[in-house]
Amino acid sequence: MNKKGVSPIIATVLLIGIVVALSLIVFFWFKSFTQETVTKFGGQNIQLFCDQLSFKASYSSTDSSLAISNTGNIPIYDFNIKVERSGGDYSTYSIKDLLTNWNGLKSSEAFSGSIGSKVSGANDIVLIPILRGTTSSGDERSFTCPDQYGQTISL
């Protein structure tokens, strides 16, 4: 009886371990395809509120000031400012990074502030709204609306 091999108990433990490991890999792989839904105002998907946004923006080149007014009923948490230059080059900034006194725009609020030299040499700037909502686990999370909901300001 000089047969060497793996005992049935060790083989069973190894098989169970392999199955558990593969199951976890598949689970996390599928989980990466789905995003946790961010909701606003009583459980509605936050993406639906991008359609309902209404804001006006203008830029004054004399003092590099940006004026934004929220003319709708949806509070705007932040904006991405996409600065487009000739040749297709662009840079994206958060309005919070450019303006130290930015606190968001509630319904019917207005804000004006200097965004400085970040837009020098630009052809256009695009303001893309960012909303704030909650996840199913209760965490607050930002949601950037698609570019189509932004407003372009020609300089």
Nearest to 68 by CA among 153, 134, 144: 153
Question: 């030299």: which residue's tokens?
Answer: 117
Number of neighbouring beta carbons within 10 Å of residue 148: 8
**What is the pTM assigned to this prediction?**
0.71
Comparing 61 with 55, the larger pLDDT belongs to 55
Q: Alpha carbon of 102 to those of 130, 131, 154: distances in Å? A: 13, 14, 23
Of 20-29, 37-46, 122-131, which range is least confident? 37-46
User: For the segment 117-138, what is each residue's pLDDT rounded down to a tens digit?
Assistant: 777 778 888 999 999 888 877 7
Comparing 99 with 116, the larger pLDDT belongs to 99
The domains located in the chain, with CATH, are 38-154 (2.60.40)
Q: What span, in angstroms and rounded, lies between the C-alpha atoms of 124 and 89?
A: 11
119 phi and psi angles, rounded to 5 deg: -100, 5
Please give the average per-residue pLDDT across 137-147, as a whole number: 85
User: For the segment 72-97, what is each residue's pLDDT rounded down to a tens digit?
Assistant: 888 999 999 888 888 778 888 888 88
Q: What span, in angstroms and rounded, lies between the C-alpha atoms of 144 and 46?
A: 10
Number of neighbouring beta carbons within 10 Å of residue 127: 20
**Confidence label for 1 from pLDDT (cuts 50, 70 and 90):** low
Q: What is the pLDDT of residue 47?
A: 82
Comparing 1 with 107, the larger pLDDT belongs to 107
Tokens of 140: 């607050």
User: Helices marked H in the chain — which ranges?
Assistant: 8-31, 95-98
